Amino acid sequence: QVQLMESGGGLVQAGGSLRLSCAASRSISSIGAVGWYRQAPGKQRELVAHMPTGGSIDYSDYVKGRFTISRDNAKNTVYLQMNSLKPEDTAVYYCNAVYVLNVYWGQGTQVTGSS
């Protein structure tokens, strides 16, 4: 089993930056794919960025060029660097991991972009 804990959300003006962190309860080098998703009020949860164990990283067209996903195996942490934030990036952001064919989610962290 894997517990995931997101942090780093907050209120930021348009054009600003935030870095979200997702701390895992076990070594992320043993975890498969990791990713970030988001859910805005009244909308379905959507993919933001997906990092498989091999292969290329996928980004949503809405964030490509502005957001970057990375992982630090030594710290068992996955990051989402968000630059040039827009009001439409406002959502709860969730970390996601696949381990032994099961999918795990964190509790989410709120990001609010103000105009």
Q: State the pLDDT at residue 55.
A: 77
Mean local confidence (pLDDT), 13-40: 94
| Arithmetic mean of pLDDT over the chain | 94
Mean local confidence (pLDDT), 62-78: 95
pLDDT (tens digit, 9 = 90+) per residue, 84-115? 999 999 999 999 999 988 999 999 999 999 88
The confidence band for 8, taking pLDDT boundaries of 50, 70 and 90, is: very high
Q: State the pLDDT at residue 74.
A: 93
pLDDT at 76 over 90: yes
Cα separation, 40 vs 37, in Å, equals 10
pLDDT at 27 over 90: no
DSSP sequence for the chain: ---EEEE--EEEETT--EEEEEEESS-GGG---EEEEEE-TTS--EEEEEE-SSS--EE-TTTTTTEEEEEEGGGTEEEEEE-S--GGG-EEEEEEEEETTEEEE---EEEEEE-
